[in-house]
Amino acid sequence: MIAVVDYGMSNLRSVERALVGAGAAPRIVSDPDQVRRADAVVLPGQGEFKHCMRGLAQSGMREAIVDFWQTGRPFLGICIGLQILFPTSEEAPECQGLGRFQGAVRRFAPEPQIKIPHMGWNVVEIAADCPLLRGLPPRSHAYFVHSYYVQPNDPAVIVGLTQHGSTRFASAIWSENLVATQFHPEKSQHVGLLILENFLRWRP
């Protein structure tokens, strides 16, 4: 079972439809035990860092997700579902994230001629071989909506890079059984479909 985590903060239906289009039979779940039993987990997200972490804590999903990671089964985080994998964010410095990756979550600095939030299509440059990105051109277009970006301490986890103004940021990361993207595969048409198909075939 492919579990799409419902913690009250996500555009779940578009992720569910995209996974169906990729050949899965996903289930939107709000029961932490269903997350623990899943074959793979997708953590989508939208909204603020603090509100997402509050939703995870109140739903019991925070502990369930950590338990799931330890099984070695595939996990995919999307958008703020990537950012909350870090210890904290400039959006909510007082709020503790999941801490799966060490590093920072930064806000884009204002610059002439760029918009914040970073919204719309942009290029993802493949930075390293990754099961999620196999079969994509070296430069692929994906859809973004965000004002913050992750800055991992370990550059080895970065598998996708994107430029917005003068900032070149990690738009996809991978470590062991966990992959995550700042962009939205469910909104990225054929590129996103291939990424989700890769995720469904992946056996870490």
129-177 pLDDT tens trace: 999 999 999 999 999 999 999 999 999 999 999 999 999 999 999 999 9
* pLDDT tens readout for residues 77-128: 999 999 999 999 999 999 999 999 999 999 999 999 899 999 999 999 999 9
Model's pTM, two decimal places?
Answer: 0.96
Active-site residue numbers? 79, 184, 186
Give the Cβ contact number of residue 176 at 10 Å. Answer: 11
Q: What residue ranges in 94-166 does DSSP mark as E strands? A: 103-107, 118-126, 139-146, 148-152, 158-164
Alpha helices in 3-91 (DSSP H): 12-21, 32-37, 49-59, 61-69, 80-83
Query: What is the total count of domains within the chain?
Result: 1
Supply the CATH number for residue 125's domain. Answer: 3.40.50.880
Domain that holds residue 168: 2-201
